[in-house]
Amino acid sequence: MPWRPADELAQVVALEVLLHGPLARAELARRLDLAPATLTRISADLIDAGLLTETALPAERRNGRPSIPLDVVTSAHHFLGVKLAGDAVSAAVTDLRADVVDYFELPLDSTEPAAVVERICELVARAAGEHVIDAVGIGLGGVVDDEGRVSSAPFLGWEDVPLSSMVQERCGLPTFAAKDLTAFTEALHWFGLGAGHANFAALTLGVGVGYGCIANGRLLAGGDSGVGLVGHWPLDPLGPLCSRGHRGCAESMLTMPYLVRDISLALGREVQWPEFLTLAADGHPAARGIADASGRALGRLIAAIANLAAPELVVIGGEGVDLARVSMPAVEEGIREHRDPRAADVRVELTSGSNESWCRGAAVIALQGYVLDRRRVRSSAARTGSR
Amino acid sequence: MPWRPADELAQVVALEVLLHGPLARAELARRLDLAPATLTRISADLIDAGLLTETALPAERRNGRPSIPLDVVTSAHHFLGVKLAGDAVSAAVTDLRADVVDYFELPLDSTEPAAVVERICELVARAAGEHVIDAVGIGLGGVVDDEGRVSSAPFLGWEDVPLSSMVQERCGLPTFAAKDLTAFTEALHWFGLGAGHANFAALTLGVGVGYGCIANGRLLAGGDSGVGLVGHWPLDPLGPLCSRGHRGCAESMLTMPYLVRDISLALGREVQWPEFLTLAADGHPAARGIADASGRALGRLIAAIANLAAPELVVIGGEGVDLARVSMPAVEEGIREHRDPRAADVRVELTSGSNESWCRGAAVIALQGYVLDRRRVRSSAARTGSR
DNA sequence: TCAAGTTTGTTCGTGTGATGAAATAACCCC
DNA sequence: GGGGTTATTTCATCACACGAACAAACTTGA
């Protein structure tokens, strides 16, 4: 039962239901500015096609005839989202709403493209054993073009690897690859904190600092986003030096390795990330100081994003997201410092930075590719600059 | 002969011709993915309606039957663009392609809303004496909402002034007001260096620093863009202090009053802006030093914009644009400093910063309001976050 | 308990309007 | 002048969104 809305309008209706939860016909008609009659017809088609069903109506009761919410059959489709790291590949199986239903992981002993593809296909095979997988998405740090070709991924030593087509040929499933941050941001956009927002930004903390942005309802994708454009952003003229000799850049102020190094130096012993957070939360002076300086730096970065990209919301994620949690007041102070007091407050939200959330992002790339039928359709995206 | 395309498709076709120059029917059909037959019908309607004409075919000759380019009747519509300054109001009359055909100016002796409206209407009357004006656009520095209400304009001491409706009631013409930078950016987008770009940024230098951005084909408009979000951006930790006590912020590094002050202090005599530029261009050490520091700071700001908003192009304007002209190498150095070397080069272009260009921007706001029939249509903009 | 009110969803005939195919027009080159 | 090529037009066709009227399924209130 493939996702094949009969025409463009059916596609729009199906997407609206997919993205904005169960919706009644009348509500859909209002949202999409269509006649009720049209919705009767379209929803009948979509129900016939197995894309939508009428839910068991726990809809809010008001006056008049009760509405019958329509919903997508979430369990009718499954996607595999693969996150590629330097030493392991992990994967999550999700349903049509990007809810994770299964999770696998495999170590990676070679970063040769062929070996990695092999590993990915092992995951695909394992997942396919338990679920019917409709498409595969792969997320990795690096520059990936629209066709899923990895033009550069330093952490794997890759240049110009046609990853998605390699996997697709090897395992026979539609495969899409994208930069990990693109995937993460799109997942927030369709099913996460960014749902319903036409302008928001995502920021991830971890081994590096990542940035993704939805502007006017679509991803901001410069040709070379992905080379780590915010990674070395100068945030504190008095901060420590980073590997490239910048003083107080995002890498040196916000990434886990540097912060762990700083706290270890300060205490004269090896301190791990969780302990650092605990110490900071408990008010240990050295840890507090480092966390606060870091939080202020993060706030400045958020302010920069807010000033230039005008998001309604900034979502923080990544495995180091707890840094923001323990230094929220400093973050807010940093924002105030670099933001005009007359401007509206920046809304900052935190989200999970587990590895699963990266996989989920990759699954959303698969889901989008499948549902929007990428690879075939390029025409509608061709209209460039107008309006 | 009003701009009233019969239906939505006709509107799209007319817009395409307006924005992308004379175009033949076949070319339009290809661009908009329509059947040739459809274009015959639509263009006939539009020609009947007086919106389009067949040009005297100086189209590039190729094989086959020659095409007949269609163009809008540029001189059939005129717009008045008014730029509001603290001490004067100026206005330009433009045609449908935003080419300036006339220019007026009046001093302003009171900043009372009623007095300003009076002055504006004098300009409207004068313009209407020589041209048929279809709509009026007003640009000013401050926060202006979609309905043309000025919620704040410190330079006039205004709060919550329903400017556009005041002018509209007083002079009887459809009137639209917008922030000056919005107007400037939209003008670049529709008819200037930004035409055809779905992602670009505009930066203006003058008494302050202004920023506008088109992302994914539309203006990035935070609710509070306009309070000068980049005006106090920190650019040089060693720079001079600004009025608010920031060190090396955009105001202190890039605005004309500060630069004039700096060069005057350095030379021990009063130096005006043009002389400063001449000295810098001629290699006078002090002037060169100031201009280069300023250029590097500008480069850093451009890099910040390029990193966060991913524009394909950054256009510099404003009356102080020549600063960029005399310090281009420093600007490029500043960009390199804050941009990952693996990222693509940022394309920077300069444009006129004459007062006329601000008026032209305001005229484009009028033109857009008129052509897109704002104030009536709000429905299509309502679809917020999806896709 | 029944009538009135309200909102949802359906049926059906209608008309708009984009389309494909084929014809025609207006050039090129040789 | 003939063949090739591309642009534009003609025209019958047909998909499909719509409006209007109606049926359904509740709430509310007397």
CB atoms within 10 A of CB B97: 16
Q: Kindly state whether residues B43 and B88 are assigned to the same domain.
A: no
Integer Cα distance of A309 and A303 in angstroms = 10
**What is the mean pLDDT for each group of 10 consecutive residues in chain A (387 residues)?**
84 95 92 95 92 80 87 93 95 97 94 95 95 96 91 92 95 94 97 95 94 95 67 80 82 94 95 96 95 96 93 96 97 90 88 95 97 62 35
The whole-angstrom distance between residue A277's C-alpha and the CA centroid of its chain comes to 24
Who among residues 25-44 of B has its Cβ near strand C, under 7 Å?
33-38, 41-42
Residue with tokens 């000759």, as numbered in its chain: B61
B151-167: average pLDDT: 93
Q: pLDDT, tens digit, for every residue of A229-272?
A: 777 787 887 888 888 878 878 889 999 999 999 999 999 999 99
Integer Cα distance of B303 and A43 in angstroms = 49
Q: Kindly state whether residues B346 and B200 are assigned to the same domain.
A: yes
- CB-strand contact A218/C, under 7 Å: no
B195 CB within 8 Å of a chain A CB:
yes
Quick check: is A2 in a domain? no
B296 CB within 8 Å of a chain A CB:
no
In the structure, what pLDDT confidence band is assigned to residue B42 with cuts at 50, 70 and 90? very high
Pairing mode of beta strands B314-317, B200-205: parallel
Structure tokens at A70: 């329509």
Non-local (6+) Cβ contacts of B208 within 8 A are: B141, B228, B231, B251, B255
- Looking at B75, B90, B123, the residue that finishes a domain is B75
Task: Report the residue of chain A nearest B312, measured CA to CA.
Answer: A222
pLDDT > 70? residue B381: no
Quick check: is A290 in a domain? yes
pTM value is 0.92
Question: Between these two residues, B222 and B372, which has the higher pLDDT value?
Answer: B372
CB contacts under 8 A, A 115-134 vs B, are: none
- Degrees (nearest 5) of the Cα angle B343, B346, B351? 175
Q: Which nucleotides along chain C are within 7 A of a protein C-beta?
A: 5-13, 16-22, 25-29
Q: Kindly state whether residues B109 and B240 are assigned to the same domain.
A: no
In the chain, the amino acid numbered A237 is P
CB contacts under 8 A, B 135-164 vs A, are: 152
Task: Report the residue of chain A nearest B197, measured CA to CA.
Answer: A385
Task: Report the residue of chain B nearest A16, measured CA to CA.
Answer: B386
For position B69, which CATH number holds?
1.10.10.10
For position B94, which CATH number holds?
3.30.420.40
A33, A340, A371, A386: which to substitute to probe chain B, counting the most B Cβ within 10 Å? Answer: A386
CB distance A115 to A144 below 8 Å: no
Residues of A in contact with B220 (CB under 8 A): 199, 215-216, 309-310
CB distance A188 to A300 below 8 Å: no
Tell me the shortest Cα–Cα distance from B75 to chain A, in angstroms: 22
DSSP state of A140: E
Instruction: Name which of B221, B225, B310 is nearest A220 (Cβ-Cβ).
Output: B310
Quick check: is A39 in a domain? yes
Q: Kindly state whether residues B247 and B345 are assigned to the same domain.
A: yes
Find, among B290, B242, B250, B243, the residue nearest to B266 by Cα: B290
Quick check: is A1 in a domain? no
Integer Cα distance of A47 and B96 in angstroms = 48
Q: Kindly state whether residues A121 and A42 are assigned to the same domain.
A: no
Q: Kindly state whether residues A42 and A95 are assigned to the same domain.
A: no
CB contacts under 8 A, B 42-101 vs A, are: none
Question: From the CA of B263, how many Å to the C1' of D7?
Answer: 63
Share of chain B above pLDDT 70, in %: 94
CB distance A162 to A207 below 8 Å: no
Q: Kindly state whether residues A71 and A81 are assigned to the same domain.
A: no
Find, among A189, A164, A132, the residue nearest to A313 by Cα: A189
Q: What is the pLDDT of residue A64?
A: 85
Integer Cα distance of B93 and B78 in angstroms = 7
Residues of B in contact with A384 (CB under 8 A): 196-198, 217
Residues of B in contact with A230 (CB under 8 A): 307-308
Integer Cα distance of B289 and B268 in angstroms = 16
Quick check: is A256 in a domain? yes
- CB-strand contact B245/C, under 7 Å: no
Question: From the CA of B31, how many Å to the C1' of D1?
Answer: 36
- CB-strand contact B67/D, under 7 Å: yes
The whole-angstrom distance between residue B60's C-alpha and the CA centroid of its chain comes to 31
Instruction: Name which of A221, A308, A342 is nearest B304 (Cβ-Cβ).
Output: A308
Quick check: is B381 in a domain? no
In the structure, what pLDDT confidence band is assigned to residue B4 with cuts at 50, 70 and 90? confident
Q: What is the pLDDT of residue A344?
A: 81
Cβ contact, residue pair A386, B152, below 8 Å = no
Q: Kindly state whether residues B219 and B201 are assigned to the same domain.
A: yes
Q: What is the pLDDT of residue A228?
A: 65
Residue with tokens 């499933």, as numbered in its chain: A173
Structure tokens at A210: 């990542």
Non-local (6+) Cβ contacts of B287 within 8 A are: B263, B266, B276, B279, B280
- CB-strand contact A41/D, under 7 Å: yes
B43-55: average pLDDT: 92
Quick check: is A267 in a domain? yes
Q: What is the pLDDT of residue B190?
A: 97
Q: Kindly state whether residues A179 and A218 are assigned to the same domain.
A: no
Cβ contact, residue pair A385, B196, below 8 Å = yes
Residue with tokens 């644009």, as numbered in its chain: B321
CB distance A117 to A167 below 8 Å: yes
Tell me the shortest Cα–Cα distance from B24 to chain A, in angstroms: 17
Q: What is the DSSP string of B281-325?
A: HHT-HHHHHHHHHHHHHHHHHHHHHHHHH--S-EEEESTTTHHHH
**Alpha carbon distance, N-terminus to C-terminus of chain A:** 37
- CB-strand contact A27/C, under 7 Å: yes
Find, among B288, B280, B287, B350, the residue nearest to B315 by Cα: B350
Quick check: is A49 in a domain? yes
Q: What is the pLDDT of residue B58?
A: 66
Q: Where does residue A300 rank: exposed (0-12), middle (13-18), buried (19+ CB within 10 A)?
A: buried
What is the radius of gyration, based on Cα positions, of chain A?
22
DSSP state of A147: T
Q: What is the pLDDT of residue A380?
A: 38
The whole-angstrom distance between residue A230's C-alpha and the CA centroid of its chain comes to 17
Residue B339: helix, strand or coil by DSSP?
coil
Q: What is the DSSP string of A31-87?
A: HHT--HHHHHHHHHHHHHTTSEEE----PPP-SSSPP-EEEE-GGG-EEEEEEE-SS
A310 CB within 8 Å of a chain B CB:
yes
Count of the separate structural domains present in chain B: 3
Q: Kindly state whether residues B102 and B166 are assigned to the same domain.
A: yes
Residues of A in contact with B379 (CB under 8 A): 33
CB distance B38 to B29 below 8 Å: yes
Integer Cα distance of A179 and A144 in angstroms = 6
Non-local (6+) Cβ contacts of A68 within 8 A are: A24, A25, A54, A55, A57, A59
DSSP state of A365: H
B27-41: average pLDDT: 95
In this structure, of A218-227, A323-332, B143-152, B159-168, the range with the lowest mean pLDDT score is A218-227
- CB-strand contact B27/D, under 7 Å: yes
Q: Kindly state whether residues B270 and B291 are assigned to the same domain.
A: yes
- Degrees (nearest 5) of the Cα angle B288, B291, B292? 80
Domain range holding B69? 8-75
State the DSSP H helix or E strand holding residue A151, giving kind and residue range, or none if neither: strand A150-153
Integer Cα distance of A18 and A1 in angstroms = 16
For nucleotide C6, the protein residue with its alpha carbon nearest to C1' is: A64
**Any idea how long chain A is?**
387
- CB-strand contact B52/D, under 7 Å: no
Tell me the shortest Cα–Cα distance from B269 to chain A, in angstroms: 34
Give phi and psi for A40, each to the nearest 5. Answer: -60, -50
Find, among B111, B178, B114, the residue nearest to B149 by Cα: B178
- Looking at A26, A51, A75, the residue that finishes a domain is A75
CB atoms within 10 A of CB B76: 16
Question: From the CA of A29, how many Å to the C1' of D13?
Answer: 29
CB distance A179 to A140 below 8 Å: yes
Integer Cα distance of A281 and A323 in angstroms = 10
Non-local (6+) Cβ contacts of B253 within 8 A are: B235, B236, B239, B240, B293, B294, B297, B298
Q: pLDDT, tens digit, for every residue of B249-269?
A: 888 999 999 999 999 999 999
Q: What is the pLDDT of residue A381?
A: 34
CA atoms within 13 A of residue A357's CA, in its CB half-sphere: 21
A223 CB within 8 Å of a chain B CB:
yes
Task: Report the residue of chain B nearest A302, measured CA to CA.
Answer: B308
In the structure, what pLDDT confidence band is assigned to residue B387 with cuts at 50, 70 and 90? very low
Q: Kindly state whether residues A139 and A222 are assigned to the same domain.
A: no
- Looking at B20, B49, B75, the residue that finishes a domain is B75
Paired with B52 in beta bridges are B72
How many contacts, defined by CB atoms under 8 Å, are there between A and B?
A: 146
In this structure, of A56-70, B44-58, B121-135, B160-174, the range with the lowest mean pLDDT score is A56-70
Give the dihedral of Cα atoms A114, A120, A126, A129; nearest 10 deg. Answer: -90
- CB-strand contact A218/D, under 7 Å: no
Structure tokens at A187: 């997942």
Q: Mean pLDDT score of chain B, rounded to an integer?
A: 90
